[in-house]
């Protein structure tokens, strides 16, 4: 295991790695699913994880370590659907290829709040349904989601959760 | 000669060493045939240092110069609550070193915590060397998953002082999962529930054949077996106070006796449903000596500690939530740590996770075994497994208003790096200062301070014209590295770290030099390369020593330094009979003494006052494998359900 690249190639890759976007780093199309992101992360880690490259001389090893840090960074952003979406928006807006994790997290948080309801009533019934689901009381969850949907009929998250709750009962 | 990498579990109470040889994982037993060795260091008057079981045995004569539970102190600041607590109850002297760190003072000599850790590590190294029959220089050392950067650095320093190249600092639960899943070709999501002497960790992992990916880890560094002991101590002390109007807690000497009795009784409750506690002469009042006699049942103990057990599940809720999983998603639950032998914990865990924990995992040895597997993977190029871990704590920087802003959130995979750009605040400013923290609070003073960094050496210009990129890096050991660069010139700024609990390179050099000249007493292992496997733990070989007190040769009465209760198999160890193990100057042939599954009550001078022969109620309880795993009752299910609802 470890990388097949020659030391000079490793050093060259480390130099350009900041010009690559996270999809390029993981060799993924922008449409990749979360499962594919995870597989790609494992694949890249096999090659670049510092544990797998202990035997390299110091210069290429430092370079590998930098690449490995970018691989995990890419994974940390792309493995979460909301962060992934925020990153795609960033790329499309041409705002740079690296995204601060804190920023990705903040964006994801904003999306999550929106998904959980734009209206106070929608949010309230949705949070009741969440508590029901944790208790595994799916019938009650379905009732609360139904109520949430009367306030926000087009909320995709509510719809998906309702379907899931019904499947469970 | 092939390269060898050891796996060392450097525990708070006990340490364990393992190695992979010829494709087989072997736990290496110490001179007494034990898989685990006490993490205790004792300094004798003649300058000789004793480590391990001998040191623990010696504690009774030498409590002020016997250092135990040092892992609770490693990498901590002098002002931290944990250090204050230790100072109040430990018999050895803890003092402040420069930079707010701590030193242990023994016989007018100062030792840093990494030096103490190194003594235990060197003992483990030498156990391994005698068992393997060749010198060893490399090791993977484990730490609680929730250890912060200061604690990890200090542990790594300890390894270096012990003459080891530390291949990796590895999280204990991750190591346990590796030992559990290695080479089995599993596709599973597992939880590792690790309750040690002083800390609780839970890690959730996804194993896909050879990849061990940690999804989340959470912990509580103030929750462990010791807290269970405290509940029993409180019970005994409160009842004593009600009966006699005397608070035993005010008498250090009586408190020590309570501690030994409580730990002994607690451990015995793993194997018996009822345990008798007898502490003769616990204290004197008006010239009359008073005693404690009390029976504790498993049910009663369960009620005493139920809230502590429930607290572990709050942490589990958090870990599952961070991993976006529910208990039903888990395929396995692995138990690690001494207290997980308690039937009430096993049944509560079964209840919470809705499945039986794995029973083929030894909670004392599994961590060292995992470390050994990883050490072998690191020294050999043909790697057959690899670990993807996370950082347990959020990394933060101090900002105006006493706040700390996250740069890298907890449970982010490592290695990772984040860069922030800073600019100067004044014209011709020569340096920038930042404070780096780890923790989950928005307030800076509620987090652990890793250090204050001062960067200088960039160009001088008007304010706002200099831009400095500061990189925060966390490597695969979970160790943090902060560097700065002038954005325009790309030149590395020079760094000064103040306020750090770590040792400087200069300190390290002199410590390593001194360590070479220390005289360490060794217990010879005579069967050299012919490795003796540790005895399997025998639940029947339970011996509880209660109320052990002793006098120094000088006539001064001393309290035992460490709770002396532990499993001893008397028959298989004629060389280390019970009395010599704890009270070395007592002469007592093992066949005269007690043998198996007994509660032993010792008087002040070591005389045996009674055994379970005189307490027949204990003999009626035949411990069996079922006893170990059976749930004691259903009274735990009520509060548990409530908890899950809230979480
Ligand atoms: N049979 C038992 N039943 C209950 N508790 C036990 C038993 N045996 C040991 N313990 C307790 O386990 C604790 C020590 O656990 P363990 O040896 O796993 O910790 P450690 O590895 O030294 O600590 P850590 O992992 O936190 O550094 C002590 O509180 C001890 O009293
Ligand atoms: Mg341990």
DSSP sequence for A40-87: HHHHHHHHH-GGGGTTS-HHHHHHHHHHHHHHHHHHHHHTSHHHHHHH
Q: Using the mean position of ligand 1's atoms as its centre, give its distance from the Cα of residue B39 in Å.
A: 12
> If pLDDT is split at 50, 70 and 90, which confidence band does B448 have?
very high
Query: Are residues B384 and B416 part of one domain?
Result: no
State the CATH number of the domain containing residue B81: 3.30.420.40
Note if the pTM is more than 0.95. Answer: no
- In 3D, which of B417, B601, B278, B214 has the Cα closest to residue A66? B417
Q: Where are the alpha helices (DSSP H) in B406-524?
A: 505-517
Of A76, A105, A135, the CB nearest to B413: A76
Q: Establish if B417 touches chain A: CB-CB under 8 angstroms.
A: yes
- In 3D, which of B323, B372, B416, B347 has the Cα closest to residue B140? B372
pLDDT of res. B496: 66
The CATH 1.10.287.110 domain(s) of chain A lie at 7-115
Distance CA B604, CA B588 (A): 16
In chain B, pLDDT over 70 holds for what percent of residues? 78
List the structure tokens of A100: 């601060």
Query: Are residues B108 and B12 part of one domain?
Result: yes
Phi, psi of B564 (to 5 degrees): -90, 0
Query: Are residues B150 and B109 part of one domain?
Result: yes
Active site residues of B: 9, 71, 172, 194
Query: Are residues B152 and B102 part of one domain?
Result: yes
Ligand number nearest to the C-alpha of B36? 1
Q: Ligand 1: does its nearest atom lie under 6 Å from the Cβ of B266?
A: yes
Query: Are residues B394 and B382 part of one domain?
Result: no
Q: Ligand 1: does its nearest atom lie under 6 Å from the Cβ of B342?
A: yes
Give Cα B366 to chain centroid, integer Å: 14
B195: containing domain = 5-223+315-389
Q: Ligand 1: does its nearest atom lie under 6 Å from the Cβ of B339?
A: yes
Q: Ligand 1: does its nearest atom lie under 6 Å from the Cβ of B11?
A: yes
> If pLDDT is split at 50, 70 and 90, which confidence band does B575 have?
very low
- Interval B369-408: pLDDT, tens: 999 999 999 998 766 788 999 999 999 999 888 999 999 9
pLDDT > 90? residue B422: no
- Interval A25-50: pLDDT, tens: 999 999 999 999 999 999 999 999 99
pLDDT of res. B346: 96
Q: Using the mean position of ligand 2's atoms as its centre, give its distance from the Cα of residue B337 in Å.
A: 5
Ligand number nearest to the C-alpha of B11? 1
Distance CA B136, CA B125 (A): 7
pLDDT of res. B377: 92
Residue nearest to atom 21 of ligand 1 (CA): B11
Of B386, B420, B473, the CB nearest to A51: B386
Contact (CB, 8 A) for B344 and B298: yes
Place of tokens 């059976």: B630
Per the structure, how many domains does chain B have?
2
- Interval B158-214: pLDDT, tens: 999 999 999 999 999 999 999 999 999 999 999 999 999 888 999 999 999 999 999
pLDDT > 50? residue A168: yes
Domain stop point among B347, B373, B389 = B389
Of B225, B344, B564, best ligand 1 pocket probe by most atoms within 8 Å of the beta carbon: B225
Distance CA B370, CA B292 (A): 43
State whether the Cα torsion B572-B578-B582-B587 is positive or negative. negative
pLDDT > 80? residue B542: no
Helix (H) or strand (E) holding B319: helix B298-322
Q: How many Cα atoms within 13 Å fall on the side-chain side of residue A114?
A: 9
Q: Using the mean position of ligand 2's atoms as its centre, give its distance from the Cα of residue B40 in Å.
A: 14
Angle at B377 between CA B372 and CA B383, to 5 degrees: 150
List the structure tokens of A123: 């949010």
- In 3D, which of B49, B40, B32 has the Cα closest to residue B14? B40
Query: Are residues B120 and B53 part of one domain?
Result: yes
Range with lowest mean pLDDT among A34-43, A86-95, B112-121, B626-635: B626-635
Query: Are residues B406 and B452 part of one domain?
Result: yes
Domain stop point among B369, B389, B409 = B389
State the CATH number of the domain containing residue B413: 2.60.34.10
CB contact under 8 A, B415 and A68: yes
> If pLDDT is split at 50, 70 and 90, which confidence band does B554 have?
very low
Q: Could you give the angle at which helices A138-151 and A120-134 cross, rounded to 10 degrees? A: 170
User: What average pLDDT does this structure show over B140-145?
Assistant: 97
> If pLDDT is split at 50, 70 and 90, which confidence band does B611 have?
very low
> If pLDDT is split at 50, 70 and 90, which confidence band does B499 have?
low
Query: Are residues B489 and B346 part of one domain?
Result: no
Query: Are residues B72 and B176 part of one domain?
Result: yes
Query: Are residues B394 and B349 part of one domain?
Result: no
Domain stop point among B331, B362, B389 = B389
- Interval B327-357: pLDDT, tens: 999 999 999 999 999 999 999 999 999 999 9
| CA distances, B244 to each of B240, B241, B284, B291, B580 (Å) | 6, 5, 11, 10, 35
Contact (CB, 8 A) for B303 and B269: no
Query: Are residues B486 and B385 part of one domain?
Result: no
Q: Topology of domain A7-115, per CATH?
A: Helix Hairpins (1.10.287)
- In 3D, which of B23, B482, B385, B325 has the Cα closest to residue B180? B385
Is B295 a member of any domain? no
Of B9, B11, B13, B268, best ligand 1 pocket probe by most atoms within 8 Å of the beta carbon: B13
Strand partners, B436: B397, B451
Q: Establish if B208 touches chain A: CB-CB under 8 angstroms.
A: yes
Query: Are residues B179 and B50 part of one domain?
Result: yes
Ligand number nearest to the C-alpha of B219? 1
Contact (CB, 8 A) for B647 and B640: no
pLDDT of res. B241: 95
Chain A interface test: which of B213, B415, B480 (most A C-beta within 10 Å): B415
Is B617 a member of any domain? no
Helix (H) or strand (E) holding B206: strand B200-208
Q: What is the largest CA-CA distance in chain B?
A: 86
User: What average pLDDT does this structure show over B520-544?
Assistant: 47
pLDDT > 90? residue B645: no
- Interval B515-528: pLDDT, tens: 777 777 766 665 44
Contact (CB, 8 A) for A19 and A97: yes
Which residue did the predictor score with more confidence, B198 or B529?
A: B198
pLDDT of res. B301: 96
Is B409 a member of any domain? yes
- Minimal C-alpha gap between B463 and chain A (Å): 25
Range with lowest mean pLDDT among A43-47, B280-284, B438-442, B602-606: B602-606
């Amino acid at each position: 295991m470890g990388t097949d690249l020659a030391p000079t190639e490793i050093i060259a890759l480390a130099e350009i790695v900041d010009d690559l976007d996270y999809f390029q780093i993981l060799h993924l199309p922008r449409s990749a699913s979360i499962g594919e992101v995870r597989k790609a992360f494992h694949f890249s880690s096999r090659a670049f994880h510092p544990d797998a490259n202990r035997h390299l001389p110091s210069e290429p090893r430092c370079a590998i370590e930098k690449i490995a840090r970018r691989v995990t960074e890419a994974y940390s952003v792309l493995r979460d659907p909301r962060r992934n979406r925020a990153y795609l928006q960033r790329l499309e807006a041409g705002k740079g290829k690296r995204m601060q994790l804190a920023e990705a997290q903040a964006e994801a948080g904003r999306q999550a709040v929106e998904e959980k309801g734009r209206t106070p009533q929608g949010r309230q019934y949705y949070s009741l349904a969440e508590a029901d689901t944790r208790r595994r009381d799916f019938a009650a969850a379905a009732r609360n989601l139904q109520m949430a949907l009367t306030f926000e009929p087009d909320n995709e998250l509510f719809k998906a959760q309702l379907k899931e709750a019904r499947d469970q009962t | 000669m092939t390269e060898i990498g050891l796996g060392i579990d450097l525990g708070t109470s006990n340490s364990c060493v393992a190695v992979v040889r010829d494709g087989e994982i072997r736990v290496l037993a110490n001179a007494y045939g034990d898989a685990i060795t006490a993490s205790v260091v004792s300094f004798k008057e003649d300058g000789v240092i004793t480590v391990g079981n001998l040191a623990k045995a010696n504690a009774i004569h030498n409590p002020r110069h016997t250092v135990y539970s040092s892992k609770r102190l490693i990498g901590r600041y002098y002002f931290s609550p944990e250090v204050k607590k230790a100072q109040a109850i430990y018999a050895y002297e803890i003092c402040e070193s420069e930079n707010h760190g701590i030193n242990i003072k023994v016989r007018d000599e100062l030792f840093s915590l990494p030096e103490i850790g190194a003594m235990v590590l060197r003992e483990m190294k030498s156990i391994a060397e005698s068992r393997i029959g060749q010198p060893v220089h490399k090791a993977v050392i484990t730490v609680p998953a929730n250890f912060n950067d200061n604690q990890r650095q200090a542990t790594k320093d300890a390894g270096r002082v012990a003459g080891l190249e530390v291949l990796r600092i590895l999280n204990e639960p991750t190591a346990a999962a590796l030992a559990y899943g290695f080479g089995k070709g599993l596709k599973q999501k597992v939880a590792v529930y690790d309750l040690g002497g002083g800390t609780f960790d839970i890690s959730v992992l996804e194993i896909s054949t050879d990849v061990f990916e940690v999804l989340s880890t959470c912990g509580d560094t103030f929750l462990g077996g010791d807290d269970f002991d405290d509940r029993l101590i409180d019970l005994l002390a409160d009842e004593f106070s009600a009966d006699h109007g005397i608070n035993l807690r005010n008498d250090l000497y009586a408190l020590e006796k309570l501690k030994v009795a409580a730990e002994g009784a607690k451990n015995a409750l793993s194997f018996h449903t009822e345990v008798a506690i007898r502490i003769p002469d616990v204290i004197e009042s008006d010239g009359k000596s008073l005693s404690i006699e009390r029976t504790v049942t498993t049910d009663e103990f369960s009620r005493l500690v139920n809230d502590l057990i429930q607290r572990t599940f709050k942490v589990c809720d958090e870990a599952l939530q961070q991993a976006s999983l529910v208990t039903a998603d888990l395929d396995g639950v692995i138990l690690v740590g001494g207290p997980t032998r308690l039937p009430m914990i096993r049944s509560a865990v079964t209840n919470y996770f809705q499945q039986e924990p794995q029973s083929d995992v030894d909670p004392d040895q599994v961590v060292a075994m995992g470390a050994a597997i990883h050490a072998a993977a690191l020294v050999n190029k043909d790697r057959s497994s690899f670990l993807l871990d996370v950082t347990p704590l959020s990394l933060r920087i101090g900002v105006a208003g006493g706040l700390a802003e996250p740069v890298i959130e907890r449970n982010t995979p490592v290695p990772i790096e984040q860069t922030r750009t800073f600019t100067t605040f004044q014209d011709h400013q020569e340096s920038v200062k930042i404070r780096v923290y780890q923790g989950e609070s928005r307030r800076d003073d509620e987090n652990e301070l890793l250090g204050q960094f001062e960067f200088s050496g960039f160009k001088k210009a008007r304010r706002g014209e200099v831009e400095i990129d500061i990189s925060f890096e966390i490597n695969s050991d979970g160790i943090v590295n902060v560097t700065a660069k002038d954005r325009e010139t790309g030149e590395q700024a020079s760094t000064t770290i103040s306020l750090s609990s770590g040792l400087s390179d200069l300190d390290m050099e002199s410590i390593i030099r001194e360590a070479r000249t220390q005289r360490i007493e060794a217990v010879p292992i005579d069967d050299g390369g012919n490795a003796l496997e540790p005895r399997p733990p025998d639940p029947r070989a339970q011996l509880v020593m209660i109320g052990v007190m002793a006098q120094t040769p000088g006539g001064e009465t001393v309290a035992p330094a460490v709770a002396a209760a532990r499993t001893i198999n008397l028959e298989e160890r004629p060389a280390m009979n019970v009395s010599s193990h704890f009270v070395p100057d007592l002469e007592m042939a093992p066949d005269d003494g007690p043998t198996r599954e007994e509660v032993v009550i010792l008087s002040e001078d070591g005389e045996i006052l009674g055994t379970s022969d005189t307490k027949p109620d204990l003999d009626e309880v035949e411990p069996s494998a079922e006893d170990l795993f059976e749930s004691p009752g259903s009274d735990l299910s009520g509060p548990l359900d409530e908890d899950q609802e809230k979480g």
